[in-house]
Structure 1
């Protein structure tokens, strides 16, 4: 058994898809705009059965339960998801140059180096150094 797909609630899946692919560098696994359905994957991940990449569904928050959850997590300042990167400082600098808003500069604690940014789609996202 392996994790195949997870989701993150977003205000607008099409806008989130553009941000996550064009700015963050993820790739499209599936896009069906007519159904407001967008799934992204790790850059360079293939679609073979032995691929260990997980799809990320950009879930519309048009359901009041999803919207309440997304808004409560954001209002509390908590990251909704964590992405691993080999070098948080380099990714921070790349994304700041692309106009991404971070809560602060990268910091280190016993779990490692991390930084948190606002995806502009209703979520804070944490980068964590692999």
Structure 2
């Protein structure tokens, strides 16, 4: 058993694809028309098999879940970075809105930002 695909709900697939590729630096992996929406995934350019599906929040349950996480300040997912200060500076320079600046949280350092598509995203750096 492997983790190969994870999903995140987004309020606009086009806006999400632009943010996740042009701002975060992921690359589009799969795009298959599925009626009104698309099967749309991105992956890290650094390799690995894992992909992130940018799922439309059109289902009322998905939208409610997404809005509840956002309202409570809970990140929808997390991405590992090698140097959180460097990544924070890069994203901040691109206008990304952080809700939590880099903060030590036990053995890891975390930061949280808005993905502009209805989610908070956490980045973290493991101890060196």
Calculate the TM-score normalised by the size of structure 1: 0.90
Q: Does 1:40 align with 2:36?
A: no
Q: What does residue range 1-130 of structure 1 map to in structure 2 within 5 Å?
A: 1-32=1-32, 35-45=37-47, 52-130=48-126
Q: Which runs of 4+ in 1 moved over 6 A?
A: none
Question: Aligned partners of 2:31, 2:94: CA distance in 1, in Å?
Answer: 24
On the 8 A contact 1:113/1:128 being kept in 2, the answer is yes
Structure 1 unaligned residues grouped into runs of 5+? 46-51
Match of 1:49 in 2: none
SS of residue in 2 equivalent to 1:38 = strand
What root-mean-square deviation, in Å, do the aligned CA atoms of Structure 1 and Structure 2 show? 1.3
Once the two structures are TM-superposed, the CA of residue 37 in structure 1 deviates from its matched residue by 2.6
Once the two structures are TM-superposed, the CA of residue 32 in structure 1 deviates from its matched residue by 3.2
Once the two structures are TM-superposed, the CA of residue 104 in structure 1 deviates from its matched residue by 2.9
Structure 2 unaligned residues grouped into runs of 5+? none
